[in-house]
A = this chain, B = another copy of it.
Amino acid sequence: MAVRGPRKDSPRLTARGAATRERIVATAADLMFRQGVTATTLDQVVDACGISKSQLYHYFPDKEALITEVIAMREHRMVSFHKPQLDQVRSMRDLERWRDSLVTGHRESDEPYRCPIGALANELSCRCDDARQSLAAVFRKWQGLLADGLARMRESGELDPGADPGELAVAVIAALQGGYLLAETMQDERPFAVALDMALDHVKAHVRTPVANLTRSDN
């Protein structure tokens, strides 16, 4: 019953076909975000898309193939959202602007405090190693965008030469993920802001302190 459909890069896909395929992925991603991956059935996806099940199978041989594309779409959206801001990070102030955009963005949107990538990782890492590896790569990419900004801060002398951009980035993304989970569970934005503030304070602890400031209290 499950017919292997054309790959994304297949020349057999018309513009209309590509649009339908994209719509299926976006619909599945949204359903999986709102109710979980396992709780989302292919029947729900076809109903929400207004297509037939055979149309779905034309593009995706099975749910796993669809999940693979949902992860790829989430990675693409994460990069589209974070890269433009993180590529600008050259100072603590830039990093604070990124933090503010996350907190304010959620406050102004109807979206729940829930990281689409974190939610996929939590549900899939324990039982699908292919998905786990893909999601680990997404986290590494996210950390890399942040680490590049922190490395620029170190090069410019804002951060101590001993600061480790890679390790700081891991800590910041961990705080972000934990903040999302607590905020969603408690339906309260405070844990999200508190966790991000801790992460930024952690980076700030590596800001080079001018010698003048250290001795000022004794003058």
**What residues make up the interface of A, taking CB atoms closer than 8 Å to B?**
34-36, 38-39, 112, 114, 118-119, 121-123, 125-127, 132, 135-136, 139-140, 167, 170-171, 173-179, 181-182, 184-187, 190-191, 194-195, 197-199, 201-202, 205, 214-215, 217-218
Give me 17 A-to-B residue pairs in the complex whose CB atoms sit less than 8 angstroms apart, sorted by A's number. A36-B123, A36-B126, A112-B126, A118-B122, A121-B181, A122-B181, A139-B182, A139-B185, A170-B191, A170-B194, A171-B197, A171-B198, A174-B182, A174-B191, A175-B198, A198-B199, A205-B205
Asked, given contacts A123-B122, A174-B194, A195-B171, whether A139 binds B201 with beta carbons under 8 Å apart, the answer is: no
Contact in complex: B36, A185 (CB < 8 Å): no
A35 vs B174: C-alpha distance in the bound complex, in angstroms? 22
Contact in complex: A122, B125 (CB < 8 Å): no
The smallest beta-carbon distance between A183 and chain B, in angstroms, is: 9
Residues of B near A176 (CB, < 8 A) are: 178
